[in-house]
Chain A
Amino acid sequence: MRVNGPSPQRLLPIYRSPTHVILSYAGIEVAPHVETTRATHTVPTGYAAIVSGAYVQLVRATAPTTLDEVWGRVLTGAGVLLRIHHVNANVGTSEFGSVPCESFEAEGNLIQLKTADNSIGGTMYYSLAVNLVEFIYDV
């Protein structure tokens, strides 16, 4: 009995040994910090990946003495996928951004999560993550 359409079929590349990779970073930091790469993933040789989603959330935990820009970034091989700013001294205010997407990443591409805070004093809660599906890609 044939249930999946005409035979023979060829699997799509994404179905060849797919593996989920989740990069994440979460923490409360005292300002100010220069931009720092909190997490990185490099697509291995012989593989490709599809970024299936990413998000950044920034929450003001305690007020700064001097307010300035806070940001979190998600970068892929093509450049900046998501960049979220927060410029607010009020405790509890937050900025959130997410991208459901299908960004193709070839072998050697870097996916990175970065944070920075230019305020003086005060603390921010950061939560960043990116989700990939990585698979054998030798076509």
Chain B
Amino acid sequence: MKRLKQIRVKVQAPDADNDSWHVHLPTYMMVPESWQPIIAGRVDNDGVLAKMPDGKPVVLTPAEKAQLTCEVLVPDGECDDKGQLDKAKIRQKYKGQPRWDRDDVLNDV
């Protein structure tokens, strides 16, 4: 990790790979206060709220989950010359690792 590139990516809900909200990338650092869009009472600029002001749990529709993004810092060794994620470089760097060495590695990003 010599230099970092700042890019906007999708955020993923908890799943089998990760028990919390996350970005589906092998290496990243989330930029604080960069989440979009802000959904009043449910999502703010730092992430998904745990509960509504009345204490009820927050529920997001699939469409709302699909549009959540944030900015992250990623190593330049996983980006192309334009600073965008490079699938071939990621597959090569993590060759043989089922989670990252796959053709659809960037489909959820």
- Contact: B1 with A26, CB < 8 Å? no
| Set of chain A residues within 8 Å of B26, measured between Cβ atoms | 40-42
Complex Cα spacing A112 to B24, Å: 12
B46 near A: Cβ within 8 Å? yes
CB < 8 Å neighbour of B97 from A32, A33, A45, A116: A45
| Set of chain A residues within 8 Å of B23, measured between Cβ atoms | 37, 40
- Contact: A45 with B96, CB < 8 Å? yes
Count of B interface residues, CB-CB < 8 Å:
33
Contacts known (A44-B94, A45-B97); A33 close to B48, Cβ less than 8 A: yes
Complex Cα spacing A24 to B94, Å: 22
Interface readout for B14-42 with A: 1 if CB under 8 Å, 0 if not? 00001111110111111011000000000
B65 near A: Cβ within 8 Å? no
13 A-B Cβ contacts within 8 A?
A25-B30, A25-B32, A27-B46, A29-B47, A34-B20, A34-B50, A36-B46, A37-B18, A42-B27, A45-B95, A45-B96, A45-B97, A120-B51
Residues of B within 8 A of A (CB): 1, 18-23, 25-30, 32-33, 44, 46-51, 53, 55, 58, 93-97, 99-101
Could you list 19 further interchain pairs (A-B, Cβ under 8 angstroms) beyond the known A32-B49, A38-B30? A29-B47, A30-B44, A34-B50, A35-B21, A36-B20, A36-B48, A37-B18, A37-B20, A38-B29, A41-B26, A42-B99, A44-B93, A45-B94, A66-B55, A112-B18, A116-B20, A116-B50, A118-B50, A120-B53
